[in-house]
Amino acid sequence: MSDLTYAEVGATRHDELPEGYRHIRRRVRLGSGDEVFRQAAEGLLTFAMNRTAGMRPEISAARAADGVRVTSRLGIGPFAIKAPCRVVWTEDEPDRAGFGYGTLAGHPEIGEEAFLVTDEDGVVWFSIVVFSKPAAWYARLGGPLSHLMQDAITDRYIAAMRKIAAP
């Protein structure tokens, strides 16, 4: 039995996002060349992106793989929000690297988030694909503020990957 809080497991892998959720799709250029791709892929697959974005993750393995648990924390002390997830798919190919993780009980949202680095004819891209909806009372109550928080975290991930990929 799955401990994930949603039924559409793996939908971010093929960018076929289910209805009834908020969708986020972001794609940014990180640079060009093999070194930029290698640094970005390694930073992503070892959760350096999460740490660089200030998320203070607790992870069950050093590298993304199916089944790895990732609990991100944002905030300080008793005011920190915990966001437990489990990796549901991974890719580690010469020109594509990334993973998707889905929400577990206790996460303020329900859904899936995917991160992918691709090398397309020497140009390195970073993509984020998300489908989510509020789970916690404070996320539902927050309405548009919850969306702003989610957008800010997405921006932090992008900034982190730009820093990690910088030559």
pLDDT of amino acid 75: 72
Give the tens place of pLDDT for each residue, 106-118.
888 999 999 999 9
Token pair for residue 40?
A: 């970005």
pLDDT of amino acid 1: 42
- Whether the predicted pLDDT of 101 surpasses 60: yes
Question: What strands, in cross-sheet order, belong to the sheet with 123-134?
Answer: 22-32, 123-134, 109-120, 96-103, 81-93, 69-74, 58-59
Under DSSP, the state recorded for 140 is H
pLDDT of amino acid 147: 80
Q: Which CATH superfamily is domain 11-165 in?
A: START domain (3.30.530.20)
In the chain, domain spans: 11-165
* pTM attached to this predicted model: 0.93
Give the tens place of pLDDT for each residue, 41-95.
999 999 999 999 988 899 999 999 999 999 988 777 777 788 899 999 999 999 9
Backbone angles phi, psi at 68, to 5 degrees: -65, 135
